[in-house]
Chains A and B, each alone.
Chain A
Amino acid sequence: AQSVTQLDSQVPVFEEAPVELRCNYSSSVSVYLFWYVQYPNQGLQLLLKYLSGSTLVKGINGFEAEFNKSQTSFHLRKPSVHISDTAEYFCAVSRDNNDMRFGAGTRLTVKP
C-alpha cells in the first residue's frame, strides 16, 4: 500500500519569503500525487495534482510542486508567501484517486 511522509509538522516563515513544504511517498506502483490546503475552520481544497506528464506542476495561489520519481518526493514550493497562506497543508498519494492516503500535515505559519 502507498503511504506519505510529511517531514515537517510546522513551518514558520516571514511574509514574502520563499517556502518549501516537503513530502515523500512510498509505493510499489505508479501513483498520483496531490497537495491539499485546509484553512482554519474550512474544508480541504485541492492546490495541485500530478497525474502524468511534466514533473513540474503549477497550482492555485502561486504554489507549484515538482515530482521526483528517483527521490520519491513531491515537495510544494512558493517563491513569496503571504499572510493569507497560513494554513495546514496535506500531501496525498493515490493509485487512481479512489484510495487516497494523506500525510499528517504541515502547519505553515506566515509572520508579518
Chain B
Amino acid sequence: GAGVSQTPSNKVTEKGKYVELRCDPISGHTALYWYRQSLGQGPEFLIYFQGTGAADDSGLPNDRFFAVRPEGSVSTLKIQRTERGDSAVYLCASSSTISGGYHNEQFFGPGTRLTVL
C-alpha cells in the first residue's frame, strides 16, 4: 500500500520568503509527526498531531514555524520569513494508535529538502 508521501521533494527559496511543505500520511493513521534533519545530524522533533490538534508543538524553533492538519489527514508545515539556517530536510512520519495511548511504529516519508539561498 501507499506509504507516507511528501511534496515537494526539493524546494529552493530565497531568504525572507514563505514556504509550505506538505505531508500525506498513511491512510487511517491518526498520529502525524514533523521532524527536521540538518546535515550530519539526526532528526529533530518539531511537532506531533493527534487527529486535527497539535498534541505537542514544543519542538517548533520559533513563531516563524507553524503546522496545521485541518481534517486529520494531510498536514502542512509553514515557514514564514525563511532564513538560511532553516535549510534542512523536513521529515514527516505517521503512526496508528493502540489502546493505552501508545502509538505503533512511526513510518517516515522521504522528506522535503529545503534550501534557503
Contacts and interface: CB of A to CB of B under 8 A. Distances in A.
Interface of A: 4, 6, 36, 41-46, 49, 90, 92, 96-105
Contact of A49 (B31, B105, B111): B105
20 contacts: A41-B110, A43-B4, A43-B91, A43-B108, A44-B43, A45-B108, A90-B42, A96-B102, A96-B103, A97-B105, A98-B33, A99-B56, A100-B33, A100-B43, A102-B35, A102-B42, A102-B43, A104-B42, A105-B41, A105-B42
Nearest to A46: B105
A43 B101 CA distance: 25
B56 A90 contact: no
Contacts, number: 57
Contact of A98 (B4, B43, B48, B109): B48
Given A42-B110, A45-B108, A101 B45 contact: yes
